[in-house]
Every structure is written in C-alpha cells, then in structure tokens.
Structure 1
Amino acid sequence: MSRPVLYIAITNHGFGHAVRAASVAAAIQQMNPEILLVLVTTAPRWLLESYIPGDFIVRPRAFDVGVVQSDSLTMDKETTLKELKQIRDRQRSIIATEVSFIHLNKVNLILADIPPLAAPIAKAAGIPCWMMSNFGWDFIYRPWGGEFIEMADWIGECFSQCDRLFRLPFHEAMSAFPNITDVGLTGGSPRYNEDEIRGIWGLTAPQEKIVLLTFGGLGLAQIPYSNLQKFSDWQFITFDQQAPDFPNLIKVSGQPSKTSSFPHLSLSPSQSLSIRPVDFMPLCGRVISKPGYSTFAEALRVGVPIVSVTREEFAESPLLLEGIADRAYHQIISPADFFEGSWEFLQQPLQPPRLNASIPKDGTEVIAGAVVDYLQNC
C-alpha cells in the first residue's frame, strides 16, 4: 500500500508563511509519520528543517509573488505587478506541469499557504485543495488600485476554487472562499531547556531586560543599533549577521548544521540544531518586530510581550496591530520612534491587552489533525 502524499504549497514571500506551514507539516509528521510531505516552496531548506525534524521532499517552485521587498518594510509595487503579470500569463503552463507531477507522485491533497494558483492546480488534478491563512493576496493588492484591481479579481477567482479554508486569527473576511473553518494560532513551540539557552548564550540580564529583535526573513535595513549602547545593563538578541559587535548584543545564526553548533543542548538524534526566534522567546521581556503574523502568533503562544513598528500601505498590518492590542501586552511605535528616536519606549510600561478572553492557541494541531484524518480515510 502506497504512502499518503501531501503537497504543501507555500507562498513566495518572506519567511512567515513558510514558518507557519512548516509548523503544521511537523505536527502532521508527528501524528502520522507515514504521510509523505512534499513542500513546494522557494524558502530555504534550513528554515524548513528548523521546524520539521523528519524527512520531507522540497520542490522548488514559485506560484505567486507576494510583495517584492528590499527589506521587511520597503515594498516595490512596480516589480510586484510585473512579476504578478508574468505568473498570470504562465498559469496554464504552471498548472499543466504541476498536474503531471501530482499524478506521477499520487498526491492525495494540497494544503496551501496561500498561493492562489494552488486551487486551480488541485481542481485540474482532481484532488482537494485546502488553504490556511489570515488574509489573501487580493486583500493586499486591491487597495493599491490601478492594474492591481485586475490582479485581485483574478486571485479571488482562484481562491473561489478552494475546497476548504482554515482561517487564522487576525483575519480579513476572506469572502472569496466558499468554505471557511476558523482556527486558533499557529506556529512553533520552544524546544530547548531555558537554563541551557541562558548558559550557552550568556544571558545574564533579568528577563524584563532581555529583548529579541526579529524582523522576518528579509530583515530590516538600518536598524539603529547604536541605541543599544544606552542600555548597557540590557541584553539584545538578533539574527542579523550584519549587526555590529556590541557587548550587550548577541548575534545568532539561524542555520547551523546538525554537527557543528550546540553539543550541550538536549536534543534527540533526529533533531536539527537550528535555533529559531521562538526558542528565545520564553527568556525575553519583549519582542521587537514589524507587523507579521508568524512572529506575533508565536509570541502570543509563548506569552511574551510584543513591541511593533507600524507598517504603511500593507492591508494586513492594521489587523495584526489590532490583534496584539486586544490580546497581548504590547507597545505600538511609529517608524520615527524606532529609526530616529533614542528608544525611550523601552523605559515605558507595556500596554495591557484590551480583551480579557484568551485566544485559542491550537491552530497548528487542529489543521494537522484534519489533514491526517482526511489522508487516513481517503
């Protein structure tokens, strides 16, 4: 009897979509190791391996654009539109190629986050397409007007062919989808002993004075690291290898090999030694970031306060910022406060969440369970 095959299509934008899709893939693998995972993505393999401990196949393909950016806040709309048109013009060829791959490899189900073409691919292949997200790319593009409206209409038509959407928290209406299931927060969980992490990285400051700086896979140009020198009794953690060498700034590589890095961490032989932002979160008094679902979701799952810079002209950002204002201890700061100020916000009290009700944190497990149930019975 052949193994069930799951085709996971991940949007070609940053690291956040890859992180949340990989966290679901890891849960699927844990629930049923017989399911063969095929990750269809341009995300680097080391990032996927940092979430998925077992074997999987990577098919390097890009079915969408997301937003072309030079860093986590700077968007290039002109190039985004040009690349979007190229994908739309090539859609028949893309679909035909993927249908051949799906039939050859006996794929049973597509799970997508959230390239629009995944749904037409599945329909042409005669298998279901399930998606997971808190927004669709039509929602991002439509406010930009002009030719982006035509692109948004095309994307909405693709989404209308999706069989089931798992709608994540902090979402837009996603009304193009005919069948919506609301779920809780997705993301990875810390997997190392906190005392080990403290010892290995020399984290000696009290928790309230340990800060994680994380701005997604694209990073952020011109972070004013010089401000850190004003907080000599604090410790800051960054994954930015271009950051300066300051005594209170710890630079972490997110992509160590399985043999070279942290021999004293409590790992099973099958686990990668990659260290992820979420692994540091339990030790931190706050996370400083830009609006991004995966960072916010993992911080909320862990319970660490969030400091976010605002982001203009990206329709998802207000939803995310409203979400952390409702659900997390937080600070929301302007780009001027972050880039040009002296970071006095670190000395100010965090704002409490506006809502008392807790937010469900089981989205990863709920989506994975539904996929496993389907593949075991198809």
Structure 2
Amino acid sequence: MAFLTIETQRPANTKSFIFCFYVSGHGWGHATRANQIITDILQLPAGHTVYVVSNATDFIFQGVIKIGAIYRHSLIDAGVVQPLAYTVDREETISQLKAFLERRPETMEKEVKWLKEVGADCVICDAPFLPCAAAEAAGIPAAIASNFTFDEVYEGLCEGDALDEEIRKLNSQVIDDYKNADLLVRLPGAIRIPSFDDSDELVPITPVTSSFPGRKGVVNGKHSLPSVSSSNVRLHDSRRHDRHIIDVPLVFRKFRRPRDEVLAGLNIPKEIRDTHKVLVLSFGGQILGKEGWGDPLPPNWICIVCCASDAAKLPPKFYKATRDAYVPDLTNAADVLLGKLGYGTCSECIGHGTPFVYVPRPQFIEEMGLLKLMKNQGSAVELPREDFEQGKWASYIAKAAELPGRCEPERVVAHNGGEVAARALENFVVDRKRLGRRGDIPSTIVE
C-alpha cells in the first residue's frame, strides 16, 4: 500500500466548487454520515456549494439544508428491500434492481443534463452507482465516500440457485458504473469494494461463508483499520488513469445536548432519570412499536424508542423519542443502545462510548465489516433475533452495560473523518482541474 505524501505547506484552496452529493435512500446511515461530510465541506474556507441528491425524504437532510446545502429529490438508487430492520427480501430486491436498470437510459440522460445545468465540479456517491457513470458522461470527476458499495451487497444475495445468474448479470452493470469513480474515500468498517478491487494488497476482501464459492479469504487486518492513506489502482481498460483509495478516520455526528437535558425533554421524571439506566432502541428508520416484547428490560432500566409510530402503545417504562429527535443526543444519553449493525449506529456508539447490543442481519454483507469495527473500537453484544422478538433482552443488556463502550486509548481511531474526507474531496477536484481529467493525480489529495 502506497501512503500519501502529506503536504503541510500546500496553499489553501480559495476557489469555490460545486459538489453534487448523491445519497442512497436505503436506511439512514448513508444520510447521517453524508450529512457530516457535507457539513465539513460547507465549512471549508473556499465557500463551496453542495447539492444533496437522494430519493430519501428531505427530512433527514434538514440539518445541512439549514446551513446551505441544496436538496434535490431524484430516483437515483435501487437499494435493498428490507421488510424488517434485520431481514432482506432477496427476490424483491433483485426485481427492483432490474426495474431500475431498465430505466437507466432515461435516468442517465436526466442526471447528465442536470449536472451540466448546475455546472457541477464533482460528483460524490454514498453509495448509488449510476451517478458515477453520469459524472463520466458529463465530463466531471466522481468519488465514492462509503464503507461499502451495493455491488458487493447484491453479490452477497447469491445463494447457489437459479436467481444467481440474473444477479450477476445485473451486477456487472452496477460494477461498471462504480468504476467511473476515480477516488474512493473509504470509511471505517469497510468491506470489499469490487470496483476498486484490483489487488488483494489494496482492498480488504470481505469475509465469506461457504455460500460464496470461489472467493478469497480475509486480507491481513492491517488494511481494514482506517488511516489516512492512499493506494493507486490502475484499471486494465482503455481509460488507463490512476484511481486512489483514501482510508479516513471515523465519520460520525456528535451530540449537542447533555444527557439530563435530553431525558428531561422526553418528559422522563427526574426521580426516574436519577435512579434508572437508559436503553435506546434504534433501528435506523424502521417503525417500531409494541411487538409482543412483554417486560424485556432489566430492573431499574427504562427504554427510549426511536421511530415509534404515533399509534404505538409501548410497554411500561418505555418512552417515545420525537420524530425529529437528534439521535446522537440519545446515543450519548444511553447506557446501552439496541439496534442493528448499521454504519450510523456503530460510528455514533463508538464516538460516544456507548455499548451496543445488536440484532444480526446475516443477509446484509456490510455487517461483517461493521462488526469488526465494533470489536476493534467499541463494545458489542449479539442478541439473537428470536430472543429480540420474544422480549428476552435483559441478560444481553446487563452484559453490555458492564462493557466500556470504547477500546484502549492506544487503539482509538481518530474521530475527525468528516474533516479529512472534506479536504480530500476538495483537493481531488483541485488536482483534477490542474492536471486535466485524464492526467495522473499526484499523491497530495490529503494535506
């Protein structure tokens, strides 16, 4: 792995660029980390413009819209169909991917036209694939900022049956679109990124089971931990230009309000706040309510539920978070958080030192990298799906509450990933404009 030359004397960029940040509508983790990177881009001295483009509602982008980001709704993502927070509908997911690719020519035409109209200087994807190809067609550079891309997720849905052939056929277009990105800003907890996978020594290979024949094993763990580094990846195709991978520190949103203020805002009485521990139940945008849990909490615990429906009747000692609750405040206020292994949840648990109880979702391959991240940097306890659904939570919560929520100081990964990513993306555009789109990028992307 070749490390970047860090230029400490590089002059600060003063030219304003237009970044178009395409964000997947699948789950909230994409939006939460994209929001942090967008915030840091907008805070750079050059005064950049950022468009955020997504098929997710503008509700989850209100924070960055308030500080200047411009929201645009567009159907740019096929995503993954999840009936529950921890299950994937394989057939429907592939059906939706097929339908999305059938509309690809019209969608491409629309996005290329729009990119030219706004005078875009760079496309950033977390992690839709089609915008990478649209950027190439519009003649502007594209970057991926993510810990995974959906081609690996779709490949992970192969189960050795008749559907596999169709999955791989559709996925070949997905991979080709991603290959139009010249920079990968790789977040902690990464799995294999197929479009940048030219060498075992460059990209960590996703751990696989017997359901994925023909794959190689896990690459040395040193490539999985985040660092400010870069690898040159040269594709063996007609384009023949350098592509770079930068591993950045942890990207996460930080809490704004102290614990007692947060709990008081949920109308939790002071005598309860002072005598009970707090569990936060969060499944990244899934609607939760009473689901036959009974009395799942240990003694002297209360639970705050994110995304409970207005009509949901929760058990005693359960409190609803408001729809617009700032989840990092809740994560910081919690003694333990219960949810799924999603990037937003994992990063915010690590960032706030909150132990995590997770319900596994084995069909979603991103989990492998995130679980490794939690074990390296935080504290995680597995709660089997059956025990979660039956309300048998207490022993798992109690076990997690005994854990520190963070790793030893000498192993802590830096928590300024948003700032590093923002500077890397700015310098990427500077270098592309200076050398021309097809020129080699010097090793100065990060200062």
TM-score by length of 2: 0.74
Query: Paired residue for 1:311?
Result: 361
1:226 maps to 2:245: no
Distance 1:225 1:365, change over 3 A: farther
Q: Residue 379 of structure 2 is aligned with which of 323, 326, 329? A: 329
Q: Helix, strand or coil: the match of 1:176?
A: helix
Q: Helix, strand or coil: the match of 2:350?
A: helix
Q: Contact 2:298–2:397 (CA<8 Å) still a contact in 1? A: no
Q: Contact 1:212–1:237 (CA<8 Å) still a contact in 2? A: yes
CA deviation after TM superposition for structure 1 residue 302, in Å: 1.3
Q: Contact 2:357–2:396 (CA<8 Å) still a contact in 1? A: no
Please provide the CA RMSD for this pair: 2.6
Query: Paired residue for 2:182?
Result: 163
1:84 maps to 2:97: yes
Distance 1:59 1:52, change over 3 A: closer
Distance 1:283 1:134, change over 3 A: same
Query: Paired residue for 1:359?
Result: 413
Query: Paired residue for 1:196?
Result: 261
Q: Helix, strand or coil: the match of 1:149?
A: helix
Paired residue type of 1:192: R
- Deviation string, structure 1 residues 335-365 (Cα, Å, up to 9, x no partner): 1221125223223354568964112322111
1:250 maps to 2:269: no
Query: Paired residue for 1:270?
Result: none
Q: Residue 57 of structure 1 is aligned with which of 57, 63, 70? A: 70
Q: Could you tell me how far apart the structure 2 residues matched to 1:196 and 1:205 are? A: 10
Q: Helix, strand or coil: the match of 1:227?
A: coil
Q: Could you tell me how far apart the structure 1 residues matched to 2:367 and 2:382 are? A: 11
Distance 1:21 1:4, change over 3 A: same
- Deviation string, structure 1 residues 210-243 (Cα, Å, up to 9, x no partner): 1111000134576444224x54621211123334
Paired residue type of 2:21: I
Distance 1:332 1:306, change over 3 A: same
Query: Paired residue for 2:191?
Result: 172
Higher Rg of the two aligned structures: 2
Paired residue type of 1:209: K
Q: Could you tell me how far apart the structure 1 residues matched to 2:425 and 2:50 are? A: 12
- Deviation string, structure 1 residues 295-341 (Cα, Å, up to 9, x no partner): 10111111111111111221112222222123212211211221125
Distance 1:154 1:51, change over 3 A: same
Query: Paired residue for 2:308?
Result: 241
CA deviation after TM superposition for structure 1 residue 367, in Å: 0.8
Q: Contact 2:87–2:363 (CA<8 Å) still a contact in 1? A: no
1:151 maps to 2:170: yes
Query: Paired residue for 1:130?
Result: 143
Distance 1:192 1:341, change over 3 A: closer
Could you list the runs of 5+ residues in structure 1 that have no partner in the other structure? 256-274
1:346 maps to 2:400: no
- Deviation string, structure 1 residues 169-212 (Cα, Å, up to 9, x no partner): 11113142242111122121111233422332336435981111
Say how many residue pairs are matched.
358
Query: Paired residue for 2:273?
Result: 205
Query: Paired residue for 1:186?
Result: 251
Q: Could you tell me how far apart the structure 2 residues matched to 1:371 and 1:207 are? A: 47
Query: Paired residue for 1:259?
Result: none
Q: Helix, strand or coil: the match of 2:144?
A: strand
1:21 maps to 2:89: no
Paired residue type of 2:303: F
CA deviation after TM superposition for structure 1 residue 281, in Å: 1.6
Could you list the runs of 5+ residues in structure 2 that have no partner in the other structure? 1-13, 159-163, 197-232, 234-243, 434-447
Q: Residue 112 of structure 2 is aligned with which of 95, 99, 114? A: 99
Q: Could you tell me how far apart the structure 2 residues matched to 1:68 and 1:176 are? A: 23
Distance 1:51 1:24, change over 3 A: same
1:44 maps to 2:57: yes
Q: Could you tell me how far apart the structure 2 residues matched to 1:238 and 1:372 are? A: 38
Q: Contact 1:51–1:188 (CA<8 Å) still a contact in 2? A: no
CA deviation after TM superposition for structure 1 residue 254, in Å: 2.7
Q: Could you tell me how far apart the structure 2 residues matched to 1:56 and 1:168 are? A: 22
Distance 1:307 1:51, change over 3 A: farther
Greater Cα shift, 110-119 or 41-50: 41-50
CA deviation after TM superposition for structure 1 residue 87, in Å: 1.9
Q: Helix, strand or coil: the match of 1:250?
A: strand
Q: Could you tell me how far apart the structure 2 residues matched to 1:223 and 1:331 are? A: 21
Q: Could you tell me how far apart the structure 1 residues matched to 2:169 and 2:142 are? A: 24
Q: Helix, strand or coil: the match of 1:75?
A: coil
Paired residue type of 1:212: V
Q: Helix, strand or coil: the match of 2:332?
A: helix
Q: Contact 2:17–2:121 (CA<8 Å) still a contact in 1? A: yes
Q: Contact 1:9–1:115 (CA<8 Å) still a contact in 2? A: yes
Q: Could you tell me how far apart the structure 2 residues matched to 1:154 and 1:127 are? A: 20
Q: Contact 1:25–1:52 (CA<8 Å) still a contact in 2? A: no
